[in-house]
């Protein structure tokens, strides 16, 4: 995959950068069993219809792909790499040679179709895409899909992200997360070796508002452009108060300095 610049025939395509997906395969009919229904983004309550999350709504219909985050022993053959509209990373469609079933996993960078990916606690060697517990992975390794405990919760799975093992003890493993924070994990937690796929996702430029609307993002309006009934900044008074949210909370942090009279 590489970035392709659109021909600047109009203002909307002048700065557009899109990711070519010619190396990705399309969804096959025999893989419909690992999909489910449609996922619509509305930002509204299902009962009352009131807006619960601003700036969300519309968007195209999209199927949800079931992702296998389990830590069970498996030997997977990578069949294809597909696009997933529900996440920024690509998805690998695998065939488990032990359970004889198909499953989806988050694709690892530089792991191509035809590769063998193993998930086990007893691994003699480590390769890209292998999933094992942290006590088998040496210090300094780059990992992703880190489980918060032995069974639940997986973090570091966005496109192009990775964590790095900083220090290991008999019980605790210190990992530097993409945010720069160093967090303690159990030595029994599982992780996948390598970097999440789609490294150039942060370089994509939509170029026009219509692309954002198809993704389910609605436009945001400045508070000063609203009426006083809709926002504390409304009425075009242009100043007189610090920046606040529509509910009156300070947007730049609550003042903590106490001045003496």
Q: How confident is the model at residue 29 (pLDDT cuts 50, 70, 90)?
A: low
The confidence score (pLDDT) of residue 6 equals 87
Interatomic CA distance for residues 3 and 169, integer angstroms: 42
| pLDDT 10s digits, 175-230 | 999 999 999 999 999 999 999 999 999 999 998 899 999 999 999 999 889 999 99
34-43, 122-131, 162-171: least confident range: 34-43
Which residues of the chain form beta strands (DSSP E)? 3-5, 17-19, 35-36, 64-65, 74-82, 91-96, 101-106, 116-119, 131-133, 142-144, 146-147, 154-155, 163-168, 172-176, 182-186, 190-193
Asked if the model's pLDDT at residue 261 lies above 60, the reply is no
Interatomic CA distance for residues 122 and 108, integer angstroms: 21
Considering the domain 3-37+60-202 in this protein, what is its CATH number? 2.30.30.30
Each domain of the chain, given as residue ranges in start order, spans: 3-37+60-202, 222-261
Q: How confident is the model at residue 33 (pLDDT cuts 50, 70, 90)?
A: low
The confidence score (pLDDT) of residue 131 equals 93
Interatomic CA distance for residues 148 and 163, integer angstroms: 13
Q: How confident is the model at residue 66 (pLDDT cuts 50, 70, 90)?
A: confident
**Residue bearing tokens 């926002």:** 231
Architecture of domain 222-261: Irregular (4.10)
**Residue bearing tokens 């998805």:** 91
Question: Quick count: other Cβ atoms within 10 Å of Cβ 53?
Answer: 11
The closest alpha carbon to 4, from 216, 25, 13, 24, belongs to 13
Q: How confident is the model at residue 236 (pLDDT cuts 50, 70, 90)?
A: confident
In this chain, the answer to whether the domains covering 3-37+60-202 and 222-261 adopt an identical fold is no
Distance set, CA 11 to CA 8, 80, 107, 219 (Å): 7, 36, 35, 19
The confidence score (pLDDT) of residue 123 equals 86
Percent of the chain with pLDDT over 90: 49
Interatomic CA distance for residues 217 and 203, integer angstroms: 18
């Amino acid at each position: 995959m590489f970035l392709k610049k659109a021909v600047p025939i109009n203002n909307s395509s002048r700065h557009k950068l899109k990711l070519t997906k010619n190396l990705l395969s399309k969804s096959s009919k025999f893989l419909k069993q690992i999909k489910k229904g449609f996922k619509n983004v509305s930002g509204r309550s299902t009962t009352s219809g009131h807006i619960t999350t601003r700036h969300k709504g519309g968007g195209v219909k999209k199927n949800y792909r079931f992702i296998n985050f389990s830590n069970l022993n498996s030997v997977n053959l990578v069949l294809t790499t597909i696009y997933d509209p529900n996440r920024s990373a690509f998805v690998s469609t695998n065939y488990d040679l032990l359970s004889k079933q198909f499953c989806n996993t988050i694709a690892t960078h530089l792991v191509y179709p035809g590769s063998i990916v193993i998930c086990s606690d007893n691994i003699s060697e480590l390769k890209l895409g292998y999933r094992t517990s942290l006590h088998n992975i040496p210090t300094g390794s780059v990992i992703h899909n880190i489980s918060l405990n032995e069974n639940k919760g997986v973090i570091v799975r966005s496109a192009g992200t990775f964590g790095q093992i900083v220090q290991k003890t008999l019980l605790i493993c210190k990992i530097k997360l993409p945010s720069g924070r160093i967090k303690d994990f159990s030595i029994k937690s599982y992780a996948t070796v390598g970097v999440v796929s789609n490294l150039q996702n942060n370089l994509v430029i939509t170029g026009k508002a219509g692309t954002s609307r198809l993704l389910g993002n609605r436009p945001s309006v400045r508070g000063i452009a609203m009426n006083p009934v809709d926002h504390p900044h409304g009425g075009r008074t242009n100043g007189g108060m610090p920046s606040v949210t529509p509910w009156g909370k300070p947007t730049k942090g609550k003042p903590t300095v106490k001045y003496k009279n």
